[in-house]
A and B are shown apart, each in its own frame.
Chain A
Amino acid sequence: MLNVGKIEEGFVLDHIAAGKSLSIYEHLQLDKLDCTVAIIKNARSNKKGKKDILKVECDINTLDLDVLAYIDHNITVNVIKNGEIVEKKELMLPRQIKNVIRCHNPRCITSIEQELPHIFYLADAEKEVYRCKYCEEKYTEGSK
């Protein structure tokens, strides 16, 4: 059994679907942060059989976790301070996501305009429908 030590301040992202942790590492742009990150793949899970876990030691105000809700609702976010869990964050679908997914509409301006961010807004929270800000093309969870 692999043991990873406790963190003093930061986040423990638990119940990540097995194999998804690297994608979350990229979406949260953790490669750009000078902090300790532990990626645990295929940990044993009573609920799911297997799961991934990410431990990030950083100032708790440095990460925008909204994008997690878009990637996977079921992730548990534990906020750690002084080595203890001080909060379990509930993930809410972000109203807008930037450069997380790309617009695949070949007629959209994002297909040719350099440097233009790919911005999607939440058009239907119930159905989790996001639409491109520029062309309004639908992007659903299933097509990720």
Chain B
Amino acid sequence: MRHLMSPLDFTTEELDRLFDLANDIEQNPGKYAHACDGKILATCFYEPSTRTRLSFESAMTRLGGTVIGFSDAASSSASKGESVSDTIRIISCYSDICAMRHPKEGAPMVAAEKSGIPVINAGDGGHQHPTQTLTDLLTIRSMKGKLDHFTIGLCGDLKFGRTVHSLINALVRYQNIRFIFISPEELKVPDYITDMLKEKNIPYEEVIRLEDIMPHLDILYMTRVQKERFFNEEDYVRLKDFYILDTVKMALAKKDMLVLHPLPRVNEISVEVDEDPRAAYFKQAKYGVYVRMALILTLLELH
């Protein structure tokens, strides 16, 4: 039995197979409409996340399966003080696969250690968000035709942004990737990421101004400064609108640069950018469903 805790749980060859399957699902949805008949997905969300939860639910429903679960800790037995270890033992009796989001880092790993069913980490605190990463990789691979030889700029909250950490971990396994980290001083990428890049001799730069590096990017990955990651409201207010991508900045970018965003966005991408053909973030949400369908099939060993 396999779980998904980090994008690194799959080899690049396994990821290629997963993405091939996702693309086949995209092309031939009817072929998979009953692939999960009789199977149950439990969505255990200890913190609110409409998008990821609905993406999982849509994925399972499109595969013919059904979904049970809870969407915040208050409506789960966690509010009565039940541990994650106990909850997953119970959930294992009710369902065939579990997607877990938790504000505490490492919670899905604790669940996986005690679980009788595959557990998917659907985001744990500021740590990992592997299914978002699979979504990002599938979007890049489908729209650029490759996952190597490019410069990617990651912009915004690089300290608490788990999507960023997961994506970096996944991309370092591909050839000739160059990272540019664009963030205010307070939200810089954590040292364990930069230590890892140094160790692997992967080129990276840390900058503050987005404008200066726009012409060099093949992909720009924007992130939201997340209020829920701050202990101090004052810091959040000061940093939330540090970056705003608008048409003026887009004019500096390459003609085929892709703009990605894990969504939801607040002010960091101006709505006028939505009409730009390089804005790929809404397509990304669609790829998110396909890749989760492929993941469910793979972990349930139905493909």
Seen from chain A, the residues whose Cβ lies within 8 Å of a Cβ on chain B are 105, 107-116, 123-124, 129, 131-138
Contact = CB atoms under 8 A, between A and B. Distances in A.
Contacts of A116: 85, 110
B106 A108 contact: yes
Chain B: number of interface residues, binned into ranges? 10 to 19
Given A105-B105, A134-B106, 4 more contacts: A107-B125, A108-B125, A132-B106, A135-B127
A105 B107 CA distance: 13
B126 interface: yes
A112 to B, nearest CB: 6
Nearest to B78: A112
B224 interface: no
A110 B102 CA distance: 13
B195 A124 contact: yes
Contacts of A133: 106, 109
Interface in B181-196: 191-192, 195
Given A113-B83, A113-B85, A116-B110, A138 B192 contact: yes
Determine the main DSSP class of A at the interface with B: loop
A110 B106 contact: yes
B64 interface: no
A113 B87 CA distance: 12
Contact of B191 (A109, A110, A115, A138): A138
A107 B228 CA distance: 12
A116 B114 CA distance: 12
A111 B195 contact: no
B125 A135 contact: yes
Contacts of B124: 109
A134 B85 CA distance: 14
A110 B127 CA distance: 14
Contacts of B126: 107
23 contacts: A107-B103, A107-B105, A107-B125, A108-B105, A108-B125, A109-B84, A109-B104, A109-B105, A109-B109, A109-B110, A109-B124, A110-B106, A111-B104, A113-B85, A113-B110, A115-B85, A116-B85, A133-B106, A134-B110, A135-B125, A136-B192, A137-B105, A138-B191
